[in-house]
Amino acid sequence: MKLGNHIQTLDEEQNLKIQGFKTSYLKQTLTFIGVVLSCGLLWIAITWRKRVYLRCTHIPCSLEEAVKVLVIDTYGQEFISSVEKPEGKSSFQPPFFYFKKMKYSWKEKEKMFVGVQGLDIQACAELQRLRKGLDSEEARKKLLFYGLNLIKIEVTPVITLILREIRSPFYMYQSFIVIIWFLQLYYQFGICIIILSVISVAATVWETRKQTKSLRNAVRSESIATVLRNGREENISSKELVPGDVLILSQIPFTMFCDAVLVSGNCVVNESMLTGESTPITKIPISEFSSASFDVQSNKRSILSCGTEILLCRSTDMEGVRAIVYRTGFSTAKGELVRSILFPKPVALKLYSDLLKCMIVFFILGSVPVIYTSLVSVEIDAYPWDALLYVLNVVTFFVPPSLPAVLTSINEQAQRRLRKQDIYCLNSRYINFAGGLDVVCFDKTGTLTEDSLDISVVVPVKDKMFETVVLNPDQLSSELMIKAMATCHSLARIDDELQGYDLDIKMFKLTGWQLQEPTAEDNVPFEYIPPRIVFKNISGNKQPSVAVVRLFPFESSLKRMSVVAQTEGTSRFEVFLKGAPELVVSLSRKETVPDDVTDVLEYYSSQGFRIIAVASKCLPDDTSWKEVQQMARNQLETDLQFLGLVVLENKLKPETIPALNILKDANIRSVMVTGDNLLTAITVAKKCGMVEDCDLVIIMKAALSSKSDSKSCLEVSYKQAKCPSLRNGSLQINGNIHATDFSIPVVFEEHRHVAMEGETFNLIRMYNPELLDKMVLKGAIFARMLPEHKLYLIECFQNLGYQVGMCGDGANDCGALKTAHTGVSLSLAEASVAAPFTSPQQNIQCIPTLIREGRVTLVSTFDSFRYMVCYSFTFLLAILFLFWDGQRPSDGAYVTIDIILNLAPPFLFGATRAYQGLSKKQPTRSILSFIPCFSVASFMLIQIAVHAFAYTYCIQQPWYEPFTFDPDNAFSPNASHTGTTVLTTNMMAYVTGATIFASGPPYRAPFFSNRLYVAVLVAEFVLVGYLTLAPPDFMIHFLNFKRAPVASFHIKLYAITLGVLVFSFIYEKYFIQRFLSKCVVPAIQRCRGPILKYEKLLHVLKQENWPPSNQCSTTDSNASKDS
């Protein structure tokens, strides 16, 4: 986007652009005059776009001169920030501004504003020089520079929220029509619209403030922190912490108030606030001997994140547990999460954009009645002011005035229904998205399957051969295998209970060993006090204990964990490692790995088991404790001895299969996105019905190979997965199909599914975007996926044109949950505030429920919109017929039609509950699609014909008395025969609309199930019949009716309108909703061909034999990772 000569890049990684502006008093004066003269309309116009506002009040300039800056984010959103230039005691600070809660400070050398993050640390060893703490003067300067350590969320003032809300085109239009009505002395409906608008705006403002307050209360924290200042311990407020402070941690439990790097001692923390994962995690100190570069991701096991709960602090020396403050405020991990919630990725609300398009269309169509009214005004010699009011009155019918209030009401009613079903919605506008989902991605563990794992068998290895499987570790002949199971974990004892990963707890308990966490006061039989000791009592006799002297906790990116242990009475150190089998095999010595390890892994994986491999090695005898602490992780985790496998079973949740079957029957695609083993994921997908037993699953693998021309070749191979399939009651394993002879003629294209691991997905994403689209289109199982891979996958589906849902327990799904159109968190942890929907049910049964409610909300919205559009234009139709000779309805007629007949029905559309089933056919997602538009057009054409017939029939009667227009009493309506005829015909049209637009199955329950709606409809039907056939005198006066002298005229008229009601009902239900919608439109779509990107690609794939037998795409090795 070109903004002028001073546009610059603020942040390449986040794709932020910036432009500076300085004050122009001349522009501000001229703008002020224009705002006054336009009665504020100019102000509304220029503040609609931030750039326009700055252009009208400021002059573009260099960033060095700027007093305000325009920042444009990667989504094209514009923000205005004021540049502050400190003076006095803060004069040492350079100019700065805040953008999305982050501080950007001026760097004279770069001539650019740079984001203020935290400590600028290049290497881990640099942290050691900070262990002495800060002095008071350093702390004061840093506090001024970094600001208070607070995640402060300001609750937007009510008046600001109101002004922001009423600036929308709908409320601006409402203000206009209310003014017109008041000028015409029509107060009744104007007041009703004001009341409804106030309620609608108040509901939106209340919901916004409630969310903001809830978030503010959830993140607000302030306590006393102990730091090292001026060489001694001091207690200060946590808000005064600055990067570089040395924290002394002792009191537990407590919530961490900043991001800090652990430099001594160990901590057990609960990170559920950030990740949704409630399993306690052990944090270890960063190595003081490491020369590696410091990186938050690679050193995350040493970082205590803000907002996490410290459950246990453990020290093995006199120094205690210490950490160095790394980041504070909004730059912390918790601050990043809060910022992502406050400033989410903008989601295109198609409904809102469609409504704006409809407004434009209605105003274009409205030019015809405007011209008609102008010409008739001239013809009947109306005064200019009266003629202007007539024309403006016609404009008030173009858009239904109660539309915003009705839409808000429908969403609120849907939100209440969801709440009753234990589904909590943070933003009711997202409910409509759930009604149009094409694809739902599911995490596996904790979502489709149980959280807990049961150990099935242990498969030890001896002399490069798998031994007989054992169920009890006491039967193991391998002492190393038992030690590995007893030591290789990150368990902690809190309140005398073991805390940690469920897998670790079950594996440790199975060994029968015990865990001790010694302190400095304990007498331990080791040179140094280790963080933990494990031992076993046999018949009351304590066996030699094993000390865990160093721990490398499990890393999802590394897929492994390891420990260094020492057995009591020996000086030798041993390394024990467990992790993903394929990785452990690669780290082990070939002479220790059985030749058939691949077959054994495939055997257990294909039956849905989860497998952990175990390995070990002995360090040289002369290795000292200090050398162990200095050794790098990759140095310890090589040349291992393969010890065997631990096979675990992860059972499906009982609700999984029924829920997935409902989605399958509704033609909604289910995709598994997991961090688990690929073959395990494939088998679980088959067990739960996500992939049929007879379907073909093809595993894609991609790898880069170097070429002589300095380019990389992306080689993609295809192999049929070995999956168990039931044939005649026995378990059979399908064979491999090699890439060179890939031929499966018996499997139809739509029954082929692609499965892959995250590494393959990422390589193809970077180097072959065309293949990526095909892969995502046919992909059913994505395994070994990192959190960022899940997010990219959701974006890939969206780029193909799918409407995507994501369901996970929150552990590694936060990014994907926020990116999806409909994110559902099954976690009650605070991280779930990042997802629009939360379910405490802990199973996927909520997904079909949410889709049903989304569909009924979407359909109710469209039904109410159709009704209100037809009501507005049908009433306008009556106005135009009456105005032919200068007539206008009385205020009583306006009140009866606008308030009595038409106020309640659209608000009650949303009260109809969802249909119990989930239809294969999805509801229409756009108001501008053919069926809704044709329905509205058909209704209006029928009403034009009926009104024209009634008007003509009336003036042909022998008793008809023509109306005479009096310019001096233009707004004092006089009774007439045509007026009575047109208005009684018009009233029945609303009953007809309320009857035919109340759709039922397959998305909504039958409209008669909505008892209140039926009661209102019956009451209106009776009222219209009463007013048409035998109105009392006071109603004749109120409506300004002039009855025909012949009663049969009104009976015939009523019979005609009843006939039109029946015809319209049959026409809508059978011709439009059945014949056109189910026969004609699909036939047209087939002839027209695909429109959406994924539809076009599916059409292409049907013509191709994909996946192919082999493929290799050559791409520059420096290819962009963002491609």
- End-to-end distance of the chain based on CA atoms, in angstroms? 20
> 665 and 478 in contact (C-beta within 8 Å)?
no
The C-alpha R_g of the chain, in whole angstroms, comes to: 36
The answer for residues whose C-beta is within 8 angstroms of residue 33's C-beta and 6 or more apart is: none
Tell which residue, 147, 125, 335, has the closest CA to residue 243: 147
Task: Return d(Cα 435, Cα 925) in angstroms, integer.
Answer: 8
Q: What DSSP string runs through 163-204?
A: HHHHTSHHHHHHHHHHHHHHHTT-HHHHHHHHHHHHHHHHHH
Distance CA 123, CA 458 (A): 42
Beta strands in 712-796 (DSSP E): 712-720, 724-727, 730-733, 752-757, 779-783
In eight-state DSSP terms, residue 1079 is I
What is the strand order of the sheet 102-107 is part of?
96-99, 102-107, 112-115
How many residues would you count in the chain? 1123
Say which DSSP state 396 is in. Answer: T
Q: ∠ CA(943), CA(949), CA(952), 5° rounding?
A: 135
Partners of 732 in the β-ladder: 725
- What are the residue numbers of the active site? 443
Cβ-based neighbours of 36, under 8 Å, separated by 6 or more: none
Residue written as token pair 């969310």: 211
Cα 394 to Cα 26, 341, 363, distances in angstroms: 41, 44, 11
**CA neighbor of 508 nearest in space, from 524, 497, 518:** 497
Burial letters 832-862, b for 16+ CB under 10 A, else e: bbbbbbbbeebbbbbbbbbbbbbbbbbbbbb
Rounded to an integer, what distance in angstroms lies between the CA atom of residue 314 and that of residue 492?
10
Look up residue 1056 and give its two tokens.
């005609």
Give the three-class secondary structure for 480: helix
Q: How far apart are CA 454 and CA 965, in angstroms?
A: 89
CB-based contacts of 470: which residues, under 8 Å, 6+ apart?
457, 458, 460, 476
Q: What is the distance between the alpha carbons of residues 308 and 334, in angstroms, rounded to a whole number?
A: 9
Concatenated DSSP letters of 906-958: HHHGGGSPBPSS--SSPPP--TTSHHHHHHHHHHHHHHHHHHHHHHHHHHTST
Q: Which residue has tokens 């003032």? A: 157
How many Å apart are CA 864 and CA 410, to the nearest integer?
9
**Rounded distance between C-alpha atoms, residue 46 and residue 924, angstroms:** 36
Q: Hey, which residues does 715 pair with through a beta bridge?
A: 703, 1112
403-420 and 187-219 helices, crossing angle to 10° = 40
Tokens of 1062: 């029946």
DSSP-assigned letter for residue 967:
G
Q: Give the C-alpha separation, 353 to 861, whole Å.
A: 14
Q: Which of 570, 571, 544 is nearest to 482 (CA)?
A: 544
Cα 413 to chain centroid distance, Å, stands at: 21
